[in-house]
Structures are given as structure tokens and as C-alpha cells.
């Protein structure tokens, strides 16, 4: 390995790679060769036929700077012309487009599989579409995956250097026009923040579609609260046919619980170092990626950058036909140098959600939040459990216990005229705990209709009974329920270099336990939002001892809070807790 940080990593044996042409897709059996895939060919049952002839370069070796060889599949149009290449960097199996696990996932989401050719790496562009429009697609198996040599790392500088090396290798190939781009969702998005920040000379542009940016703050310790469950789900993808080892983030969480450890510093993307054009895709609803995507957007060093905030989930969005066509306009402009007017595209397009079928999308702005957004504080009234514009003169403590029902408190505000919030909310809470020395605090901003019903909306096509079951108290990335945030009280120390009045940030480098009777101030960052309320509708803020939204995806538990004793929220006088919201003054 080439990066010093790997010496501090913990490694465990990778999971076994089953090379049977089923487990990891019909094209997975290893063989370096060139194949012509013919127009009309069906790669596997249930997938759409190819729309053009494609040259497949299968299991092509690429030697990295330390001598390790990784293998990649490359799909090319049948052409004598040199073409640009789209790169899908992740550990998810370069040939796994027809793997049962992904077929079943898309069926569960209600997307089916007819939208793609079966050549599509999970969360990556479909080679059939892009080859038909003059692009190559490169699907690598990164270090330690399948037949690629070396040991697998997860998020950070080693992956970034390997991605750099692949880009520069691709640019020298006889079929390549010297232009490359990174694209894809989720892992394929957050890998872009890291790779692009190393500034490969032949990286032309990027298209991160919803990707976290900080392995500590966005994944392992959201709000300073450890959550091993989703990491364990991700690491199952680290499979090897060569007895490789995989970086074990769960062990690292136990060994390095604070963010100032070198291992976690290495897993923070420096978006300010990215200078290539970027088309960034975000949503308010992704409980894994939203925070990191917006944080990267705010610090992105690119002068030519665009943000589109949609109202769907990352996979339905990315594979939607019209969205794919728009992405091609971006790539055509930079990779094929077509004068198609992309540069006139509004720099920011955002959505406003109403949860009742009336979402407003692609609202144009030069910045996010829009210039007409102003932060407004709504103070908590503990006596009447309402939100109001002015604080109470005297404190009225509200007490609740994690060990009895309901384990939460809430405050409401009913609007007498249409009101919209777009931007970055936060909660400022003055709290104490009796009978313990710490608190895990979960905050949730809801919308209630005029009858008092809590509203939410699915962001995937399937609204059936099984998805109702999963998303009622979990699978939060599939059903949007409002802005959210969480914070462990002992991890509350503010990062004065990064925090603003609008967006709190934390050092997570110390543990400050609570003394008996001590009242502390918690500045809790909440996920960005775009929410509308009509007259008679109600905003409710829930402050809970429980992870009310639950896990990110079905079948994976959420975090386990560490709460005991009695929680007290103070609501007046010198302890006037409030919710700060980005109010649109004109819309």
C-alpha cells in the first residue's frame, strides 16, 4: 500500500468471493478477453436488450503505483473515434449488475430491472446507454475486491490514490480521448470527493449523486453516537477470491472513538481541493448522504459547479430517463466539447416539499439557501408545548425519561398563512440529566396536516405493505419524514473554525460528561430542508431519547442510544431553547 495511514488500520479477512456466475452476476467468472456484445442481446432474463453493439474488455489488469494489480471491465462503443470514459469507483462488483441481491433490491423498491441492460454496476451508469452516445464506461474492482490484488480499504487516501492511478491509466489508452469523469450514487459519489481532491490531471469533471463526505461524522459516529450496524452491512461487499484482507471499520470505531485520530482524519474529504467542474445532486431525504453532500457543496472549490436538489431517492433519480439525458448534456459539454448551452443551466435548483402531492421542483437560484431565506428563531414554551416568536421570561422545565413512555417531548406551531422554509435549520437546546452523566438527543422536524396527522412521503416507487412495514420505524432513506439531527451531549464541543450561527459543527475530539444538576447548551445541526406549510397546517419539533427515524435501509438496525435517568429540557429565561428555521421571505 502507498499511504502511511494504512499502518494504523485494523484488518480482518475479506468475505469469500463466490465465482459461480450467479452470486456476483452472469458476467463475473474471471477471464481476460475481448467480447463483442451484439445489439438486441439480452444479458440476463428481466433486463432490457442492448440497443447497440458494444465492445467489452473484460478483466483488464491495471497496475497501481505500488505494483498492485486491479482488474476492470471496460465497455466501448464500436467506433474508430477516441472517446471519453465514465468511471464507477466502488467495491460493489464490476460485473454484478445481474446479481440476485441487486435484482431483488430494485424489485423491492418498485423499480424492477427493465430500466437497465444488466451491464450496470450497482449505483453506476448503464454502459448500454452511454456507449450508444459515444462514451466508454469503466467498472473497476478496487484493491482487494474479487480478483484484484492487495487489501481493501474503505474511504480515504488509499482509495483516492488508487482512483487517481486508474484515471491516469485510462487517459493513456489508445481508444480514449484523454478526458475522464467520475459518476454514480452513494459510495460511487463519496469516492468522488476523495479521488477528485487529489486532482488527477486527466479528470475532466465529476457528478457526485448523494454521497457522504466524512467517515466519522456521516457514517460511524453521526452526532457522536456510534452506529456499527450499517457499516457491517457495507463491509459484506468486501469479498476476495485471493484471500485478501479488508479494513475493519467496526474494530477501528472501538480502537479510535474520537475524530482526532489519524484514521478518521484520513476519512474526511477536502472538497475545497476539487477544482474540476461538478454537477452535484442532492436531496433532503437521504439520512445517510444528505449532510455530507451539502457540506461538500458548501466548500467545493470548483468555479464551475451546479447543484440540483430533487424530491426522490438517489436510485430512481439517477436512472430516470430525463435525468440521464440531462446528465448527458453536462458530460457532452465537458467531455465531448459540445456547445449545447449547459453553461447557461441555473447554478442551483431546489425543491420545496409539501408531503401531499404538491412538491415544487427545480426552483431556480444562484445560491443555496436562496437569497430570500432568513434565519428565524421559534422559542419553545414548556407550559403550553408551543413554539413562539419571543422567549418566555421564566424557565419552565419539561422532563421525560428514556425508561418510560413516551420518552420524548414536542412543541408545535400552527401557521395562519402559507409559510416556506428553505435552507439550514438547527436546534438550540438547554438540557440536563438526572441519574446519569450523558444524553443522546434526537431531533425531528415534522409537518402535520390541518387534522393533526403526521405527514411523510415515499421517495421510491413501491408504496406497498412491505415497504410500509419497513419504513414505519426504519428504512429512513426510502421515506422522507422531515428534517432531523442527533447529538451525544458529551460530544457537544463546538468546532469554532467550522461552526457558524447557521450550521453547528463539532470537533468530536473530547468527551465532556455531565455533572449532576449541570445545564448545558446543545447546538444540534439539522439536515437541510425545503418545506412548505399552508394556513392551518402545523410544524412540530420532536426531541426524543430514541432514534425515531430508525435505520437507513430495510433489514439493518439503527443506532443504540445510551440514555438513562431523567432528561430535562429548559424553555425560558436564560435557558430559552429554540428551533431556528430558514424562512423564505418571498416565494
What confidence tens digit (pLDDT) does each residue in 109-168 have? 999 999 999 999 999 999 999 999 999 999 999 999 999 999 999 999 999 999 999 999
Residues 196, 286: one domain?
yes
Residues 285, 215: one domain?
yes
Residues 108, 181: one domain?
yes
Range of the domain at 481: 373-584
Residue 375's pLDDT is what? Answer: 98
Residues 337, 380: one domain?
no
478 inside domain: yes
Residues 399, 545: one domain?
yes
Residue 360's pLDDT is what? Answer: 98
Cell numbers given for 516: 449532576
Residue in the structure block whose three cell numbers are 470548483? 302
Distance CA 402, CA 507 (A): 27
Residues 449, 314: one domain?
no
Domain boundary pick from 345, 365, 382 = 345
Q: What is the dihedral of CA 293, 295, 298, 299, to 10 degrees?
A: -110
357 inside domain: no
| Contact call for residues 210 and 236 (beta carbons, < 8 A) | no
Q: Which of 241, 176, 227, 238 is nearest to 203 (CA)?
A: 176
Distance CA 565, CA 435 (A): 4
> Looking at the 3D structure of the chain, how many domains does it have?
2
Residue 138's pLDDT is what? Answer: 98
171 inside domain: yes
Residue 119's pLDDT is what? Answer: 98
Distance CA 212, CA 191 (A): 9
| Contact call for residues 331 and 181 (beta carbons, < 8 A) | yes
306 inside domain: yes
| Contact call for residues 156 and 215 (beta carbons, < 8 A) | yes
82 inside domain: yes
Helix, strand or coil for residue 182? strand
Return the number of other C-beta atoms located less than 10 Å from residue 13's C-beta. 12
Helix, strand or coil for residue 522? strand
CATH of the domain at 515: 2.60.120.260
Residue in the structure block whose three cell numbers are 428565524? 376
Residues 238, 319: one domain?
yes
Q: For residue range 469-478, what is the model confidence (pLDDT) as tens digits?
A: 999 999 999 9
Distance CA 242, CA 565 (A): 50
Query: 508: phi > 0 → left, psi -120 to 50 → alpha, else beta; which?
Result: left
Pairing mode, strands 440-448 and 575-576 = unpaired
Instruction: Kindly give the residue spans of alpha helices, DSSP state H, lying in 16-99.
Output: none
Residues 431, 511: one domain?
yes
| pLDDT > 70 in the chain, percent | 100
User: CB within 8 A of 240, min separation 6: which ones?
Assistant: 14, 15, 16, 17, 144, 145, 146, 152, 246
Residues 272, 419: one domain?
no
Distance CA 374, CA 423 (A): 9
Distance CA 85, CA 203 (A): 10
63 inside domain: yes
CATH of the domain at 92: 3.40.50.1820
Residues 341, 411: one domain?
no
Residue 3's pLDDT is what? Answer: 85
Write the DSSP symbol of residue 514: P
Q: With residue 158 as reference, give the H or E element that holds it.
A: helix 157-171
Residues 468, 340: one domain?
no
Give exposure, 178-216, as e/b (b: 16+ Cβ within 10 Å). ebbbbbbbbbbbbbbbbbbbbebebbbbbbbbbbbbbbb
Task: Write phi, then psi, for 65 (nearest 5 degrees).
Answer: -60, -25
**Spans in the chain with pLDDT lower than 50:** none
367 inside domain: no
137 inside domain: yes
Asked whether the bond before 448 is cis by omega within 30 degrees of 0, the reply is: no
According to DSSP, the residues that pair with 281 across neighbouring strands are 209, 308
Residue 2's pLDDT is what? Answer: 79
Residues 388, 307: one domain?
no
User: CB within 8 A of 117, min separation 6: which ones?
Assistant: 43, 47, 48, 49, 50, 97, 126, 127, 128, 129
Q: With residue 129 as reference, give the H or E element that holds it.
A: helix 127-132
Note the pTM of the prediction, 2 decimals: 0.97
Q: With residue 535 as reference, give the H or E element that holds it.
A: none
Cell numbers given for 35: 467480447
| Contact call for residues 94 and 57 (beta carbons, < 8 A) | no
Amino acid at each position: 500500500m502507498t499511504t502511511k495511514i494504512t499502518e494504523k488500520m485494523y484488518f480482518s479477512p475479506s468475505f469469500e468471493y463466490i465465482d459461480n456466475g450467479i452470486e456476483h452476476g452472469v458476467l463475473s467468472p474471471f477471464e481476460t478477453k475481448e467480447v463483442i456484445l451484439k445489439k438486441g442481446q439480452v444479458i440476463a432474463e428481466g433486463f432490457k436488450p442492448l440497443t447497440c453493439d458494444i465492445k467489452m474488455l473484460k478483466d483488464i489488469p491495471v497496475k497501481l503505483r505500488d505494483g498492485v494489480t486491479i482488474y476492470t471491465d471496460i465497455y466501448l462503443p464500436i467506433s474508430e473515434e477516441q472517446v471519453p470514459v465514465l468511471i464507477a469507483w466502488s467495491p460493489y462488483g464490476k460485473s454484478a449488475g445481474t446479481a440476485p441481491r441487486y435484482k431483488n433490491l430494485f424489485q423491492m423498491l418498485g423499480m424492477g430491472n427493465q430500466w437497465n441492460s444488466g451491464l450496470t454496476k450497482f449505483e453506476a451508469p448503464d454502459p448500454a446507454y452511454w456507449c450508444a452516445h459515444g462514451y466508454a464506461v469503466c467498472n473497476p474492482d478496487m484493491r482487494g475486491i474479487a480478483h484484484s490484488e492487495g487489501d481493501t480499504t474503505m474511504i480515504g487516501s488509499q482509495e483516492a490514490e488508487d482512483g487517481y492511478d486508474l484515471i491516469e491509466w485510462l487517459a493513456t489508452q489508445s481508444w480514449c480521448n484523454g478526458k475522464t469523469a467520475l459518476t454514480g450514487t452513494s459510495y460511487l459519489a463519496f469516492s468522488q470527493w476523495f479521488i477528485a481532491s487529489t486532482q488527477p490531471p486527466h479528470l475532466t469533471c465529476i457528478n457526485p449523486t448523494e454521497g457522504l463526505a466524512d467517515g466519522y461524522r456521516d457514517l460511524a459516529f453521526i452526532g457522536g453516537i456510534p452506529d456499527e450496524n450499517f457499516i457491517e452491512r457495507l463491509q459484506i461487499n468486501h469479498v476476495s477470491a485471493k484471500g485478501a484482507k479488508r479494513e475493519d471499520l467496526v474494530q477501528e470505531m472501538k480502537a479510535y472513538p474520537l475524530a482526532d485520530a489519524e484514521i478518521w482524519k484520513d476519512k474526511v474529504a477536502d472538497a475545497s481541493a476539487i477544482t474540476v467542474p461538478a454537477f452535484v445532486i442532492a436531496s433532503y431525504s437521504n439520512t445517510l448522504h444528505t449532510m455530507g453532500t451539502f457540506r461538500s457543496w458548501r466548500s467545493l472549490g470548483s468555479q464551475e459547479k451546479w447543484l440540483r436538489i430533487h424530491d426522490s431517492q438517489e436510485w430512481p433519480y439517477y436512472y430516470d430517463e430525463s435525468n440521464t439525458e440531462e446528465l448527458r448534456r453536462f458530460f457532452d459539454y465537458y467531455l465531448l466539447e459540445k456547445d449545447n448551452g449547459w453553461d447557461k443551466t441555473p447554478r442551483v435548483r431546489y425543491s420545496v416539499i409539501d408531503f401531499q402531492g404538491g412538491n415544487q421542483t427545480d426552483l431556480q437560484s444562484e445560491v443555496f439557501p436562496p437569497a430570500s431565506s432568513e434565519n428565524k428563531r421559534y422559542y419553545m414554551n414548556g407550559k403550553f408545548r408551543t413554539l413562539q416568536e419571543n422567549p418566555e421570561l421564566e424557565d419552565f422545565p419539561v422532563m421525560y425519561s428514556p425508561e418510560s413512555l413516551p420518552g420524548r417531548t414536542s412543541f408545535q406551531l400552527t401557521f395562519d398563512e402559507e409559510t416556506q422554509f428553505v435552507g439550514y435549520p438547527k436546534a438550540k437546546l438547554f438540557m440536563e440529566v438526572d441519574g446519569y452523566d450523558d444524553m443522546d438527543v434526537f431531533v425531528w422536524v415534522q409537518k402535520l396536516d390541518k387534522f393533526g396527522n403526521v405527514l411523510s412521503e415515499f421517495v421510491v416507487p413501491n408504496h406497498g405493505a412491505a415497504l410500509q412495514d419497513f419504513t414505519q420505524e426504519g428504512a429512513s432513506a426510502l421515506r422522507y419524514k422531515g428534517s432531523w439531527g442527533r447529538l451525544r451531549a458529551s460530544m457537544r464541543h463546538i468546532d469554532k473554525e467550522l461552526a457558524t450561527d447557521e450550521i453547528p459543527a463539532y470537533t468530536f475530539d473530547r468527551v465532556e460528561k455531565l455533572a449532576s444538576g449541570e445545564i448545558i447548551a446543545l447546538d444540534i445541526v439539522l439536515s437541510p430542508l425545503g418545506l412548505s406549510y399552508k394556513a392551518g397546517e402545523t410544524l412540530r419539533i420532536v426531541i426524543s431519547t430514541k432514534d425515531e427515524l430508525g435505520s437507513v435501509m430495510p433489514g439493518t438496525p439503527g443506532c443504540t442510544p445510551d440514555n438513562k435517568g431523567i432528561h430535562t429540557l429548559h424553555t425560558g429565561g436564560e435557558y430559552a431553547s429554540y428551533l431556528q428555521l430558514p424562512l423564505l421571505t418571498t416565494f
